[in-house]
Structure 1
Amino acid sequence: MTIVQIQNASLRLRNNKIFELFVVSIIILSALLIGAKTYPIPDSVMQLVKWLDLAITLIFLFEITIRFIAEENKKRFFHSGWNIFDTLIVIVSLIPIEDSEMALVGRLVRIFRVLRMVSIIPELRMLLNSLLRAMPQLGYVLLLMFIIFYIYAAVGATFFAKINPVLWGDISISLLTLFRVMTFEDWTDIMYETMDVYPLSWIFYLTFIFLTAFAFLNMVIGIVVNVLEDEHAKERAAQDEADGKISMDDLAKEIRSLKEMLEQQRKD
């Protein structure tokens, strides 16, 4: 077989849905083996698990090789962060470090092989990319949330420290207590305890919950949803371009250019 034939065969195999499902099933099997190793199992079964782990690593090596061969521009293959991640995971998994001081690193790498599910499934990859793209906007929301947390923690430590120093002894402990309140973990017990001394302290808790659990949470969801919609729009535009379809913007430009040509012909 020529190089072109090998590349075309690799491309067909990479784009094959059955092959994709096979790789996904291997990733799931890898995750199950990771969980199985956390149980006390007989030595014979552990030996079988090790052989299966080696077979999974070889399958991953075959899959990443197919993806590399199928890529027309080999340099572009490593422009993708997911391809770099998959390659590093496979290479480190091939290194025999189970019985060395680096055994812990080997176990961690095998745990992170589950993340290859994201690189294989486009929908998961889109969700993660949307979350990463939303991080700059989310950063400002988190900063504002921290300011609210800090103000309420300072107020709580000032007024409630004598009531329960375990929960309100200083500002760092108060921050943890407020996080517990925000997640609704027995927050009413904390509120009733302070209400015995300060009957109106319920205002403190209700306003804090409204600002953090409701308002800020909805802001975070709104930002992520907007970014996700932008990602879907870009993907649809790229797919239309690949299929040779004209987008609405391109169609509007074509109509405007035709109108300009007709007006020019009328003037002439």
Structure 2
Amino acid sequence: MLLVFYIFAVMFTNLFRNAYADGYCTSDYWGSLDKTLLTMYQLMTLDSWSMITRETMEAYTWSWFPIIIYVTLTAYLVLNLIIAALVDSMMEATKDEQNAFAIENSIIMSNDMSGLRQSIDQLTSQQQLIVDALSLLKNPHFQKH
């Protein structure tokens, strides 16, 4: 983005340098690179960009074309940066929610596993009681004749 900013600033300084000196602009928007960079920042933020364009068009009727290209391009880039920041923060929030959900699920599964272990232990002890009872029933001393 800085490269685009600088390339357009050099180009606009060379193209529109004399607009103020010739009396067409109320301010020296394009007289030097530093003034052009400030004007370009103003155009990028869409602050009074139409006034600057109209004043420059009084000196150079074709100046609307490169200025509109610059404004459109930088507005798109700024919008893209804002959307990228929003998407990044939303992805981070989603990631945090997923981590919290995973932790909650692991706690639930751990509790379920301990409940299953208790059930298995109870079933094992009941199975052992049944095996013991069967072995007693097979014992000839307990069988009735």
TM-score interval (norm. to shorter): 0.5 to 0.7
The structure-2 alpha-carbon separation of the partners of 1:220 and 1:202, relative to structure 1 and needing over 3 Å to count, comes to same
In angstroms, what is the RMSD of aligned CA positions?
A: 1.9
The reply on whether 1:211 has 2:73 as its aligned counterpart is: yes
The reply on whether 1:183 has 2:39 as its aligned counterpart is: no
Structure with max Cα Rg? 2
Q: Unpaired segments of 5 or more residues in structure 1?
A: 1-144, 247-268
**Structure 1: how far apart are the matches of 2:47 and 2:99?**
45
**Structure 1: how far apart are the matches of 2:41 and 2:101?**
46
The match for 1:32 is: none
The structure-2 alpha-carbon separation of the partners of 1:162 and 1:175, relative to structure 1 and needing over 3 Å to count, comes to same
More displaced, 181-190 or 200-209?
181-190
Alignment counterpart, residue 60 of structure 2, candidates 186, 198, 203: 198
Alignment of 1:162-181 (within 5 A): 162-164=18-20, 166-181=28-43
Alignment counterpart, residue 85 of structure 2, candidates 217, 221, 224: 224
Corresponding letter in the other structure for 1:206: I
The match for 2:103 is: 242
The match for 1:159 is: 15
Q: Tell me the number of residue pairs that the alignment of Structure 1 and Structure 2 aligns.
A: 101
Offset of 1:225 from its aligned partner?
Answer: 2.6
Question: When the two structures are superposed, what TM-score results if normalisation uses the length of structure 2?
Answer: 0.61
Question: When the two structures are superposed, what TM-score results if normalisation uses the length of structure 1?
Answer: 0.35
Q: Deviations over 1:23-77 (max 9, x none)?
A: xxxxxxxxxxxxxxxxxxxxxxxxxxxxxxxxxxxxxxxxxxxxxxxxxxxxxxx
The structure-2 alpha-carbon separation of the partners of 1:185 and 1:225, relative to structure 1 and needing over 3 Å to count, comes to closer
Offset of 1:219 from its aligned partner?
Answer: 1.6
Offset of 1:194 from its aligned partner?
Answer: 1.7
Q: Unpaired segments of 5 or more residues in structure 2?
A: 22-27, 108-145
